[in-house]
């Protein structure tokens, strides 16, 4: 069934129960909220800003937004882009879009102006709805993008080039628009990309989203009594699809803005969270804070916390060993997936297999996996090959990119670009990425974009950006820079030059050396990773 029917069902069963809570510990004062359905709670010393909505209010807001969109001519198959930080409006907006029959198009909040414009054009989005954090970036392109699309703003002090979301929707009916939907209708476009620069648009149908709900709930056994703490951004399939397991059973979820150890643990304690999805850096920070004594567990209510799971990057077994020493009663799990496979769970470790930490697991619920040779045949057990996936959550295509679709979808299999091997017990281990994406702190970083930027420096002859292992972030970016003849430069000079990049894209390590290329002109990045994964890595970690 279409995923929107879950929301309607939750209203029928649990209408007055809390659906979503938003917590922002960095806001010192509770801001004025103009919609009477929001419940404001006075701040205390650790939680300065909190809002919550029930399932009834969630659905009413989705319906209001849907009816407003329909009044502006939005129809089935149109696309509406979302550029928001995590907030209480995010998910009602998402479901409001789906209720019209249009496609929701979440955008990465790290995108620069040119990337926002590119994604709007590639996805053929008719509307962009954005928040206050993005006014400057949207304003840079507003004159161009507003010629053929509507701009809606969520927040106080609406800019002149957009329309006010609250003022537009508050007076529209809160009843369902009753647009007929089926499992085969298109539902969403998510973005991903390899090392070629700008993202690809990944098209999914309603049945993909529904399968994601079922996978997550099957793997982690959410019940109505669970409380899920969601910290990663909702534009990401990982965050949203882990939330889908709670959504399926009508359980409460908490959207937390902040990743400091005390902020996370206070939220778990105060909201009685039972399931928390973390990234490796946050786990490490929490453990370090506990060991330093800056977080005192005996002052927190954590006995209800039953599951900590990790995704988005390789997990060091030693880290989970440390975690279990502090939290011996916690279940632990990890999942592997792609936006092309509607997020996590295509490969699943399982809470009973903690002895296999380091593996990504076995085929998830409803999924098939194969480790294949280049010709698509299975490898011999124990050998390395490309990880292939098949199941109801595989994307329909890369939207407006038939060539990339043909390269990735073959005979029903999704070619992930990840190299893997299977051990004697049937557990799958990632060996290397066929693509050169660097995953740092759970975020994909695309080396070609950084390389293209560095090549604008007049002193640089050639450059290669690679990922090196990092104990906290999973990986860090290193730039191997080959200078022009008779030219000198310093690390400080290159670091200063890179301040023009977003912080998360700046190389952690600068290496002045020749850039090796093979006879076909391709950079030999595996060779560079072997060469510079030692002393340079240690030096970088000592500086961090």
Cα gap 449→196, rounded to integer Å: 8
Would you say residue 18 lies in a domain?
yes
**Percent residues over pLDDT 70 in the chain:** 91
State the pLDDT confidence band at 433, using cuts at 50, 70 and 90: low
Domain count of the fold of the chain: 3
CA within 13 Å, CB half, 462:
12
The length of the chain in residues reads: 544
Tell me what pLDDT residue 281 has.
Answer: 78
137 located within any domain: yes
227-230 and 275-278 beta bridge pairing: parallel
How many Cβ atoms are within 10 Å of 2's Cβ, its own excluded?
23
Beta bridge partners of 236: none
Answer yes or no: do 50 and 161 share one domain.
yes
Which pLDDT band holds residue 126 (cuts at 50, 70, 90)? Answer: very high
Last residue of a domain, one of 433, 457, 477: 433
The model's confidence at residue 409, banded by pLDDT at 50, 70 and 90, is: very high
Q: Which of 418, 433, 448 is the last residue of a domain?
A: 433
pLDDT bucket at 518, cuts 50 / 70 / 90: low
Q: In this model, does residue 370 exceed pLDDT 70?
A: yes
Same domain, 427 and 482: no
Coil, strand or helix: which one is 91? helix
Nearest residue to 244 via CA among 441, 52, 91, 442: 91
Kindly give, in sequence order, each residue whose CB lies less than 8 Å from that of residue 5, ignoring residues fewer than 6 positions away.
Answer: none
425 and 528 assigned to the same domain:
no
- Rounded mean pLDDT, 500-524: 82
In a domain, 360, yes or no: yes
pLDDT in tens, 333-358: 999 999 999 989 999 999 999 999 98
Residue 61 has pLDDT above 50, yes or no: yes
User: Hey, what's the torsion of the CAs at 341, 346, 351, 354, to 10 degrees?
Assistant: -110
Taking residues 398-422, report their average pLDDT: 94
Which pLDDT value is given to residue 43? 42
pLDDT per position as a tens digit, 155-182: 999 999 999 999 999 999 999 998 999 9
CATH label of the domain that carries residue 318: 2.30.38.10
Backbone angles phi, psi at 266, to 5 degrees: -65, -40
Task: Give the separation between CA 211 and CA 1, rounded to whole angstroms.
Answer: 10
Using alpha carbons, select from 491, 436, 535 the residue that is nearest to residue 193: 436
Query: Does 486 lie in the same domain as 412?
Result: no
Residues 380 and 522 reside in one and the same domain: no
Q: Does residue 213 lie within any of the structural domains?
A: yes
8 A C-beta contact, residue 191 and residue 322: no
8 A C-beta contact, residue 509 and residue 538: no
Residues 513 and 490 in one domain: yes
Verify that 27 and 165 share a domain, yes or no.
yes
Structural domain boundaries, residue 356: 307-433
> Model confidence over 220-242: pLDDT tens digits?
999 999 999 999 999 988 889 99
The whole-number pLDDT of residue 64 equals 98
> Is the pLDDT reported for residue 28 higher than 60?
no
Identify the band that residue 136 occupies on the pLDDT scale cut at 50, 70 and 90. very high
Q: Which of 86, 369, 102 is nearest to 235 (CA)?
A: 86
20-24: average pLDDT: 95
- Can you tell me the distance from the alpha carbon of 436 to that of 413, in angstroms, rounded to the nearest whole number? 21
Dmax of the chain from CA atoms?
Answer: 74
pLDDT score of 144: 93
Regarding whether 20 and 155 lie in a shared domain, the answer is yes
Lowest-confidence region among 254-263, 408-417, 529-538: 529-538
- Kindly state the tokens that stand for 419: 């190299």
Angle at 442 between CA 441 and CA 448, to 5 degrees: 90
* CA nearest neighbour of 97 among 131, 67, 52, 130: 67
Distance (Å, whole) CA 255 – CA 23? 6
In the listed set 433, 466, 493, which residue is the last one of a domain according to the structure? 433
- Output the domain CATH number for residue 446: 3.30.300.30
pLDDT for the residue 199: 87
| 443 inside domain | yes
- CA-to-CA distance for 496 and 403, rounded, in angstroms? 39
**φ, ψ dihedrals at 331, nearest 5°:** -75, 150
Q: Which two tokens stand for residue 457?
A: 């420096």
Q: pLDDT class for 38, splitting at 50, 70, 90? A: very low
What is the per-residue pLDDT for 440?
85
In a shared domain, residues 241 and 313: no
Are 62 and 97 contained in the same domain?
Answer: yes
d(CA 146, CA 156): 20
Instruction: Collect all residues with Cβ–Cβ distance below 8 Å to 517 and sequence separation of at least 6.
Output: 523, 524
Residue 196 has pLDDT above 70, yes or no: no
Asked whether residue 432 carries a pLDDT value surpassing 70, the answer given is no
Could you tell me if 58 and 86 lie in one domain? yes
Mean of the per-residue pLDDT values of the chain: 89
Residues 461 and 417 placed together within one structural domain of the fold: no
List alpha helices for 466-505, DSSP H: 491-497
The pLDDT, as a whole number, for residue 412 is 94
CATH number at residue 228: 3.40.50.12780
Q: What is the pLDDT of residues 309-325, one digit of tens each?
A: 987 666 778 889 999 99
- Residue 522 binned pLDDT confidence (cut-offs 50, 70, 90): low
Distance CA(366)–CA(346), nearest Å, equals: 8
Residue 422 has pLDDT above 90, yes or no: yes
Is residue 7 pLDDT above 90, yes or no? Answer: yes
pLDDT digits (tens, 9 = 90+) for 260-288: 999 999 999 999 999 999 988 788 889 98
pLDDT of residue 46: 45
């Amino acid at each position: 069934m279409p995923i929107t029917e879950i929301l309607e069902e939750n209203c029928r069963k649990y209408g007055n129960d809390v659906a979503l809570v938003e917590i922002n510990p960095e806001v010192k004062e509770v801001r004025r909220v103009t919609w009477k359905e929001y419940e404001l709670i006075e701040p205390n010393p650790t939680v300065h800003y909190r809002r919550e909505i029930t399932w009834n209010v969630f659905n009413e807001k989705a319906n209001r937004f849907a009816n407003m969109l329909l009044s502006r001519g939005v129809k089935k198959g149109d696309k509406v882009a979302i550029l928001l930080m995590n907030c209480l409006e995010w998910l009602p907006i998402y479901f409001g879009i789906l209720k019209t029959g249009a496609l929701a198009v979440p955008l990465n909040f790290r995108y620069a102006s040119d990337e926002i414009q590119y994604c709007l054009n590639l996805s053929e989005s008719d509307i962009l709805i954005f928040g206050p954090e993005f006014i400057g970036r949207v304003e840079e392109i507003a004159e161009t993008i507003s010629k053929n699309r509507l701009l809606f703003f969520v927040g106080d002090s609406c800019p002149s080039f957009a329309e006010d979301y609250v003022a537009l929707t508050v007076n529209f009916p809160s009843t369902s628009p009753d647009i007929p939907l089926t499992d085969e209708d298109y539902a969403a476009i998510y973005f991903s990309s390899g090392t070629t620069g700008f993202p690809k648009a990944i098209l999914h149908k309603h049945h993909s989203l529904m399968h994601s709900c079922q996978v997550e709930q099957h793997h982690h056994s959410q019940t109505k009594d669970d409380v899920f703490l969601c910290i990663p951004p909702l534009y990401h399939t990982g965050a949203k699809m882990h939330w889908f397991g709670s959504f399926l059973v009508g359980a409460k979820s908490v959207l937390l803005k902040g990743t400091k150890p005390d902020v996370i643990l206070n939220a778990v304690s105060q909201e009685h969270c039972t399931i928390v999805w973390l990234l490796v850096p946050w786990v490490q920070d929490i453990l370090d804070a506990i060991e330093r004594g800056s977080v005192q567990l005996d002052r927190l209510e954590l006995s209800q916390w039953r599951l900590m799971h990790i995704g988005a990057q390789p997990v060091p077994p030693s880290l989970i060993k440390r975690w279990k020493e502090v939290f011996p009663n916690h279940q632990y799990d990890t999942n592997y997936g792609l936006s092309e496979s509607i997020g996590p769970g295509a490969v699943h470790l399982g809470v009973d297999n903690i002895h296999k930490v380091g593996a990504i697991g076995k085929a998830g619920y409803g999924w098939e996996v194969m480790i294949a040779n280049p010709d698509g045949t299975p490898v011999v057990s124990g050998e390395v090959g490309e990880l292939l996936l098949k199941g109801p959550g595989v994307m329909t295509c890369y939207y407006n990119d038939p060539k990339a679709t043909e390269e990735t979808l073959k005979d029903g299999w999704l070619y992930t670009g990840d190299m893997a091997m299977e051990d004697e017990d049937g557990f799958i281990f990632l060996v290397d990425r066929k693509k050169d994406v660097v995953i740092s702190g759970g975020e994909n970083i695309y080396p070609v974009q950084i390389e293209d930027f560095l090549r604008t420096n007049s002193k640089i002859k050639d450059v290669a950006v690679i990922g090196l292992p990092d104990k906290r972030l999973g990986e860090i970016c290193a730039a191997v820079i080959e200078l022009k003849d008779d030219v000198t430069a310093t690390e400080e000079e290159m670091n200063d030059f890179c301040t023009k990049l977003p912080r998360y894209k700046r190389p952690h390590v600068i290496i002045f050396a020749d850039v090796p290329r093979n006879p076909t002109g391709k950079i030999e990045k595996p060779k560079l990773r072997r060469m510079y994964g030692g002393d340079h890595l240690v030096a970088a970690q000592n500086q961090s």
